[in-house]
Amino acid sequence: MKLIPILLTLGMLTMNGWAERYTPEPYSPELVNMAKAGDAKAQLALGDSYYLGNGVRKDRTEAMKWVTRSAEQGNAEAQCALGRETTDPKKAVKWLTKSAEQGNGVAQRELGYCYVKGKGVTKDDKEAFKWFTKSAEQGDQEAKMALEKLAKQGFAPAKKELEELKSK
């Protein structure tokens, strides 16, 4: 009986595509060969395998090596992952910006937070608003909440944007 809610949740996640996007490919010799050959998606998947210990021993250093290789080839998901994982705020902004400019909604939201907090960049509500809006337009609920917070703080453009998003 306890499995029913879990299976229902997994089914719903699969139907809306979330489970497919976040089910990392397990470590395999084929994956290693593809990553070594320069396949950016395979490099990210290999990095995920090392990061999660999916078929291989967990190794954050090895994970970051492969994710970085993928990001350097322009993979927006890898760029976002690097931006979220790095402890250097300026590097985080660099990678999040690259990813956000390619339309990655998570990176857009995270970049908005960087501008709200002045983390790695000068605090700038207009720039935060821009990135939160782009993310919210893709359906990101957390970005919509961030816009609501900006609106409550008196940032007028956020109030207007929220009204437009609600009317869609």
Which CATH fold would you assign to the domain 76-168? 1.25.40
- Predicted local distance difference test score (pLDDT) of residue 23: 66
C-alpha 86/C-alpha 98 separation (Å) is: 14
- Cα–Cα distances in Å, from 126 out to 30, 31, 46, 67, 113? 46, 42, 37, 31, 12
The domain ranges of the chain are 24-73, 76-168
CA 1 to each of CA 6, 9, 11, 14, 103: distance values in angstroms, whole numbers, following the listed order: 10, 14, 16, 21, 41
Asked whether the beta carbons of 109 and 135 are under 8 A apart, the reply is: yes
Alpha-carbon distance 100 to 132, whole Å? 11
Q: What is the pLDDT along the chain (168 residues), one digit of tens a residue?
A: 443 433 334 343 443 444 445 566 889 999 999 999 999 999 999 999 999 999 999 999 999 999 999 999 999 999 999 999 999 999 999 999 999 999 999 999 999 999 999 999 999 999 999 999 999 999 999 999 999 998 888 887 877 787 887 777
* Max Cα distance, the chain (Å): 55
Q: Give the burial string for 17-52 (b: 16+ CB within 10 Å, else e).
A: eeeeeeebbebeeebeebbeeebbbbbbbbbbbbbe
pLDDT at 38: 97
| 6 to 9, 13, 16, 22: CA distances (angstroms) | 5, 11, 16, 17
pLDDT of res. 1: 42
pLDDT at 16: 40
